[in-house]
Amino acid sequence: MFANALHKLDTRFEEIFCVIGLSVMATCIFAQVVLRVFFESAFHGAEELAVYGMVTAVYLGCSMAIRERAHIRITFLVEKLPHKGQVFCIVMADLLWFAFILLLLKESIAWIQLLIQFDYISPALGIDQKYPQSVVPLALCLMIGRMIQVYYRWIIRDNKEGLPL
């Protein structure tokens, strides 16, 4: 039972929040269009909610793509190399990507610390920005965890067979 719940969390976590984020975004944009066209009015917080939904979907979608190894890769030249060269190129590209994610994480944490130090309230909804903006460093941490998970599975389960794709 507990193992099944962990498996579902492992395979569906990002998908659930991506669907929620995209649903919030689409609903807010649709409502805004309907209100403006038919009622000549507007919901002032719709844009902010749509942005929060989009940011959530984008960053958690990146994490989901790492888990599925679905990010775009140009492997035309890599496939021409011998197996060890292919593995080397993919691992080096992933290490550079990992370093980039760490840099983004460092900068996003600094941004959140700044938001904690100086309150920044959104104009339409009145939400303290440290809360919705915290999605970014949390998603970056999840990306790091998913990348480690991919390599753990490749090394342990696959015994380094094939490529870490």
Task: Report the pLDDT value the prediction gives residue 131, as an integer from 0 to 100.
Answer: 93
Task: Report the pLDDT value the prediction gives residue 117, as an integer from 0 to 100.
Answer: 93
The structural domains of the chain, with segments of one domain joined by +, span 2-156
Question: Which 3-state string (H, E, C) describes 52-113?
Answer: HHHHHHHHHHHHHHHHHCCCCCCCCCHHHCCHHHHHHHHHHHHHHHHHHHHHHHHHHHHHHH
| Weakly modelled stretches of the chain, pLDDT under 50 | none
Task: Report the pLDDT value the prediction gives residue 6, as an integer from 0 to 100.
Answer: 78
Task: Report the pLDDT value the prediction gives residue 34, as an integer from 0 to 100.
Answer: 93
Task: Report the pLDDT value the prediction gives residue 165, as an integer from 0 to 100.
Answer: 67
Convert the pLDDT of each residue in 91-106 to its tens digit.
999 999 999 999 999 9
Task: Report the pLDDT value the prediction gives residue 153, as an integer from 0 to 100.
Answer: 87
